[in-house]
Amino acid sequence: MIYVPSASEAWSSLQALNHDVTLGWFIRALHGWGSNFMVAIVLIHMVQVFLFGAYKFPRSLPGSRRFSFADDTWHGLQWTSAAFDQDAYWGLGIGASIASRVPIVGP
């Protein structure tokens, strides 16, 4: 495995992935941009569903589909932490702040 998810080894393993692995930088960038686009597409879709009233009977989504969207968004947020940089620090701080305001989940 190339990437080592520890605070002491993360930077050097990311440097190896970016510079030593063939197209490693491209795969990393593709994964990062893909998660950002996924979050944007889910948000756009949620606005569309709200504006068109597609959440009303008989078109209501099953709970498993709603969970799937939330799960994809959560995994997009988790990808941010893989970089161990300032974007990861502030992104996770904002994500934790948002999650703390959710009833039952937050404090």
Separation between Cα atoms, residue 28 and residue 24, nearest integer Å = 6
Block means of pLDDT (10 residues each) for the chain, 107 residues, are 75 86 88 83 85 72 64 68 72 78 73
Separation between Cα atoms, residue 5 and residue 84, nearest integer Å = 9
Residue 3, Cβ density class (10 Å: 0-12 exposed, 13-18 middle, ≥19 buried): middle
The pTM score is 0.49
